[in-house]
Amino acid sequence: MKDFAKEFEDLRIWQDARIQAVSLYRDFGVGMPAERDFGYRDQIQRAGVSVMNNIAEGFERHGAAEFAHLLNIAKGSCGEVRSMLYLAEDLQYLAPEVAHSRRERARQLSKSIESLARSLRSK
């Protein structure tokens, strides 16, 4: 099953999810417009961390079906991040071009997660 990577850290989707999580902490951290919106900040940061952690957890589980299931959860969290980025733009927590760029990266990550999940389900 894991002929494509030896460790979850080798997975491009995990690497991209890690970059996304870091950018969410930077975009919505101390000194940023959303700094005092604790509910929003907590939710989007948790969703970002959920993406990378579910990829890692799935990789460490036994069997393709379990991994695919956790990838589906990661994909859902990625959608949550994308949705919340619209709100960040609406609330002017991020400039429109930054929010758009972050959403596009999340959309691409979601597609990559789905591609791996589909491959696992076909095994």
pLDDT at residue number 13: 97
Q: Which fold has domain 8-121?
A: de novo design (two linked rop proteins) (1.20.1440)
pLDDT at residue number 9: 96
pLDDT digits 0-9 by tens, 88-111: 999 999 999 999 999 999 999 999
pLDDT digits 0-9 by tens, 27-70: 998 899 998 999 999 999 999 999 999 999 999 998 999 999 99
The pTM for the full model equals: 0.93
Domain-wise residue ranges, the chain: 8-121
User: Does the pLDDT value for residue 3 go beyond 90?
Assistant: no
pLDDT at residue number 123: 75
| Encoded amino acid at 96, one letter | P
pLDDT at residue number 45: 97
The CA distance from 37 to 35, in Å, is 6
Q: Are 49 and 34 in contact (CB under 8 A)?
A: no
Q: Is 94 exposed, middle or buried (0-12, 13-18, 19+ CB in 10 A)?
A: buried
CA 22 vs CA 3, 16, 34, 94, 119: distances in Å: 28, 10, 16, 15, 28
Give the confidence band of 2 by pLDDT, cuts at 50, 70, 90.
low
